[in-house]
Amino acid sequence: MAGALPTKLPGCGRQSASRNGFSRATGIQGMDREAAVDRVEALLDTVIDEEMPVPVREVWAYGDVALGLDPVDRLDVYLTKDVLLRGDDADRADEFEREYGVAGVGKTVRASWADAHPEHVRANDSGHVAPERCLGAHLVGDDEPIHLEVCNAGFEDNVTQRLEGALATETYEHVLDPRGVCVYADGRRGTDAMAKLRAGELVFPTLAEALEMLGADEADAELAADAVDARRDRATGATVRGDVV
């Protein structure tokens, strides 16, 4: 279960001062490193032991926690979800819409999950059930300094696509930090990966260098790294982003 980039690169030591390779004073801290890794473990336990609104194929930890930073300002977690192509109980969609005012339960998320967790059912702005928001409500508390990325594409594929899109439109804040480690895939917990994550043994370049390795030129990579940093610094509490690729 390798990271999206090589975990060790010539001339690149483990980042222990900041996410971009320089010492950065921080204000309110998120959580200490041990607590952040414990939180990843707890999230994995929930994904493995409990029914999710949609199947979860992969879990990645990326950003500050993967870099070995202490404290971890925000915990970044990526979930690869499977799409319910036919739905598990599509004929109950009307029932759920009447009861909760949310369309698509049984088609887009599992009806059995919604039965067990009606308090976690979430809709998008158009009133249709939103799998990424349901996952966020189930897995993360509102006030936790955690960002959840949810997509049907794997982490590595989405990293590339998001970078290409951000460079084409100069929306650099949409870049996904590629420095991550897979801690769960296809029903298997990444025991070795979790041990390395806990020990802070993963080695990555700075974000700008990582983006250059993926094809960005130096100037764009620096702009993107700054934009990602600024976006994360502005974030408070739990945040969720969903993509369909």
Is 183 within a domain? yes
What per-residue confidence (pLDDT) applies to 14? 32
Is 114 within a domain? no
What per-residue confidence (pLDDT) applies to 84? 83
Mean residue pLDDT of the chain comes to 88
Model pTM score = 0.87
Is 162 within a domain? yes
Distance separating alpha carbons of residues 105 and 107, to the nearest angstrom: 5
Distance separating alpha carbons of residues 130 and 158, to the nearest angstrom: 19
Is 91 within a domain? no
Q: Is 143 exposed, middle or buried (0-12, 13-18, 19+ CB in 10 A)?
A: exposed
**Predicted confidence (pLDDT) per residue in 4-55, tens digit:** 433 222 222 333 334 443 223 333 458 999 999 999 999 999 999 999 999 9
Is 63 within a domain? yes
Task: Report DSSP state, residue 175.
Answer: P
How many structural domains comprise the chain? 1
**Predicted confidence (pLDDT) per residue in 189-225, tens digit:** 999 999 999 999 999 999 999 999 999 999 999 999 9
Is 168 within a domain? yes
Distance separating alpha carbons of residues 74 and 66, to the nearest angstrom: 11
Domain holding 141, by residue range, is 33-83+130-243
